[in-house]
Amino acid sequence: MSNIFLKALTGLLFFPFTANAQDVSSITSDTDSQNNSSINWQNRTSDFGPLPPGMDVYSFEGMYQNKPFRAFYVIADPRSGILQIEHDTTQNRRLSPAGFYEKNNHPVLVVNTSFFSFKDNLNLNIIVNRGRLLAYNQHTIAGRGVDSGLYYHPFVSALGINKKGEMDVAWTFTAKNKRKPYATQWAPPLIKDSSTTFLLTNAKSSTTIVNHSSFSTQLHRWKMQTVIGGGPVLVQNSTINITNNQERKFAGNAINDAHPRTAIGYTKEGKLIVLVIEGRNPGIAAGATLTETAAILVQLGCMEALNLDGGGSSCMLVNGKETIRPSDKEGQRAVPAAMVWKVKGEK
């Protein structure tokens, strides 16, 4: 139960912004008249207020891609000097988003983030808070089926925010004997071998194969104050680019299954977007595939974006109020980490 496939199996039922957002934003596809692909986002900020200036909430409920659809997104500028964006983790235990809300003295936003192991309640992806590495990537995953006896060694995609509030999506490597994470700006090919370990030397050698003129391909120290890992990447260079084959998050055709989703990205204007999509709610919300989620993020203006833990884990609170309805019958699922947005100066 400690690998990402079992987390996906249990949590997701998978096998192995614009800078000047209007009160009503519209997302449409070329086949609107055929499959109800129009999303008319409604500004819901007043329903969740009071919120700090520059932070807005949007929602949509209706038909999308010929299925019932319900989603929310929040948008804000990390450079505004108003918000303190942090990650909170628990030690060998889990809290519901409402629990994180109380633990953090009622922040304006709480949202689930990284994948985790149900067996030991450990995060399986990188988490950095205030420059401190709190959780490490899982870089060795046992193969299955024809790959039994072999091991996968993926790099984990993450979104980082530096001291200036500037954002980046990269593929990361973490080592427990290193205080800082490493990153590369391209998705390294998935490594498969018989080794049960994947060391920094292996990671560095695997990222020196490609020489790209426009960005750094080599593994380097990633100097970010805030980092949250998940995967796979959904958007690169403002286009859909799903790197599931490199990250090995979902097996087979699982990326084509519709489920609740949580995703995060940023726009060229430097706005941060967090998107949650409700699912497994018959007649109201069917969920979304990874490709549909990526398309929505592109149409919201994201330059880069990645998937976070979804399924029953998907939940976002704004001022303590639920946005989407969690899909677990018990309600909000307890998770070992959450992103929280706090208003600077408030305790």
Tokens of 311: 């399924």
| Contact yes or no for 150/191 (Cβ under 8 A) | no
Residue type, 175: A
Given this model, what pLDDT does residue 254 score?
85
Given this model, what pLDDT does residue 18 score?
31
Global model pTM greater than 0.75: yes
Number of CB atoms found within 10 A of residue 61's CB: 15
| Contact yes or no for 2/120 (Cβ under 8 A) | yes
Of 99, 226, 82, which is closest to residue 163 (Cα–Cα)? 226
Of 327, 248, 340, 324, which is closest to residue 57 (Cα–Cα)? 324
Given this model, what pLDDT does residue 9 score?
34
The residues, ordered by sequence, that sit 6+ positions from 334 with a Cβ below 8 Å of its Cβ are 94, 95, 96, 99
Residues 314-327 pLDDT 10s? 999 999 999 999 99
Given this model, what pLDDT does residue 210 score?
53
Given this model, what pLDDT does residue 232 score?
98
Of 66, 11, 40, 65, which is closest to residue 259 (Cα–Cα)? 11
**Which residues in the chain come in under a pLDDT of 70?**
1-37, 209-217, 347
